[in-house]
Amino acid sequence: MVWSRYVVLRLAPLLLVVLMLEGCASTLLLKLESSHTPTCAPDGQDCLIRGREIFEDYRRLKVEAIRYKSQGYRLPSAPVAFIHPVRTEYSILLIHGLNDSAYYMADLGESLHRSGFNVVTVLLPGHGTDTRDMLDATAEQWRTEVDKGLEMAALVGQKVIVGGFSLGGALAIDVILRRLDIHGLLLFSPAIRLHSFDAISSLMCVPGLRTHERKTDLPQNPVKYKYRMGNGACQLIRLMHRNLAAGNPTEERTAMASEQQVQELARRVKVPMFMALSYADKRISPEAALEFARNVQAPVLVATFGTATNVSAAPLSNTVKIQSLTDADLQHSYLIRRSNPYNGQENPCYDRLASVMIGFLSEQFYLGVGSGDAGDPACRLIGDGLQKLD
């Protein structure tokens, strides 16, 4: 059943009441967890070996599920790791976005690995197998999957940095709220507030809409779903509202991404943060992402694509720097891949983005790998074909 925007707006208050009564947006509890640092030998090789073995088992199980559910078609979606022969000082867990897969994080993983990090990715439940698996996915399952990734990252690196794209960004923020042993944060088009009105987006949690399947303009491809299930958006909304509630479970069902709530959420982040976003993003709100960046209690670098609006160009604090990579617009899912032969979602300025990101990490964590420079390498032309919605 297709509803016009007018009808949805008129029925929103009633449907939100139904949402609460049905309990579809049940409370996603926040529990502050202690350090998960493993006990390792002085050289760390025992932990490195154990981390490799655990990841290999993890990937094998994911590959088996992908083979069974998609007859092998979606194997490029499987999680990957980039691990040096030694346990590195810092390791990074990368978390993909809604409806896509670990494939989208592989270019970032390679770039970070070349700069001295051990990198692990995960494949979230409901992703990379069959679109209808998203019907049974929950935010709790995604959080559990991230914790598996954190366990592996802690074995292959002495200190863990967590990063994520879109939904993965929301999960990375969730980690920061729950864990005291995270040393850095990488956010790429993070889902802090959606581009559309949050209350309307919340309607995806109404039982009848959770099963709604929407066709996109993407070609059939093995790394991102062409069809999107309402439940995926519902679980993302639950996670975003949990983050905004910032430790008060009674607020989750009514939490909206007000400026004050975004500010309060950001003030709980006390580790260095790199963020990348596009002002042309039609999925998440770049304004909310920048408001978040302005209030983080640690050094921040924001790398941007496109031209800022008056709102999003508001001043940043002394600890926050903003760096324009290009004035050309880039849509949401194009941000984090250098190339994507499966569906064409690629970033012609990826190398520039990676250079700036590595430069920031080098400065913050004393890596000695040189600083990034937004003028080098150059961007390839962002053509009209990369302006379409994703």
Q: Provide mean pLDDT across the span 7-22.
A: 42
In-domain check, residue 22: no
Burial of 210 (0-12, 13-18, 19+ CB in 10 A): buried
Burial of 266 (0-12, 13-18, 19+ CB in 10 A): buried
What are the phi and psi torsion angles at 55 (to 5°)? -65, -40
In-domain check, residue 33: no
In-domain check, residue 2: no
Kindly report the number of other CB atoms within 10 A of residue 309's CB atom: 11
Q: Cα–Cα distances in Å, from 15 out to 188, 211, 212, 325?
A: 32, 16, 15, 42
Q: Provide mean pLDDT across the span 140-144.
A: 97
User: 39-52, pLDDT tens digit by residue?
Assistant: 888 889 999 999 99
The domain of 260 spans 39-386
Segment among 41-50, 81-90, 224-233, 363-372 with least mean pLDDT: 363-372
pTM over 0.85: yes
High-pLDDT (> 70) share of the chain, % = 79
In-domain check, residue 112: yes
Segment among 27-31, 39-43, 171-175, 231-235 with least mean pLDDT: 27-31
Please list, in sequence order, all residues whose beta carbon lies within 8 angstroms of the beta carbon of residue 147, skipping any fewer than 6 positions away: none
CA distance 351 to 378: 8
Q: What is the pLDDT of residue 309?
A: 75
In this structure, what is the dihedral angle of CA atoms 303, 192, 224, 374, given to the nearest 10 degrees? 0
Segment among 62-66, 92-96, 199-203, 263-267 with least mean pLDDT: 199-203
Q: What is the pLDDT of residue 200?
A: 61
Helix (H, G, I), strand (E, B) or coil at 300: strand
Q: Provide mean pLDDT across the span 20-26.
A: 44
Please list, in sequence order, all residues whose beta carbon lies within 8 angstroms of the beta carbon of residue 181, skipping any fewer than 6 positions away: 35, 36, 37, 154, 159, 160
User: 330-386, pLDDT tens digit by residue?
Assistant: 889 899 999 999 998 889 999 999 999 999 999 999 876 654 444 457 787 666 655
Give me the number of domains the chain comprises: 1
pLDDT at 218 exceeding the cut of 80: yes
In-domain check, residue 3: no
In-domain check, residue 121: yes
- Domain containing residue 151: CATH number: 3.40.50.1820
By the 8 A CB rule, do 231 and 259 touch? no
In-domain check, residue 321: yes
pLDDT band for position 4 (cuts 50, 70, 90): very low
Q: What is the pLDDT of residue 123?
A: 98
Q: What is the per-residue DSSP string for 208-222? A: HHHT-EEE-SSPP-S
In-domain check, residue 115: yes
Q: Provide mean pLDDT across the span 249-261.
A: 63
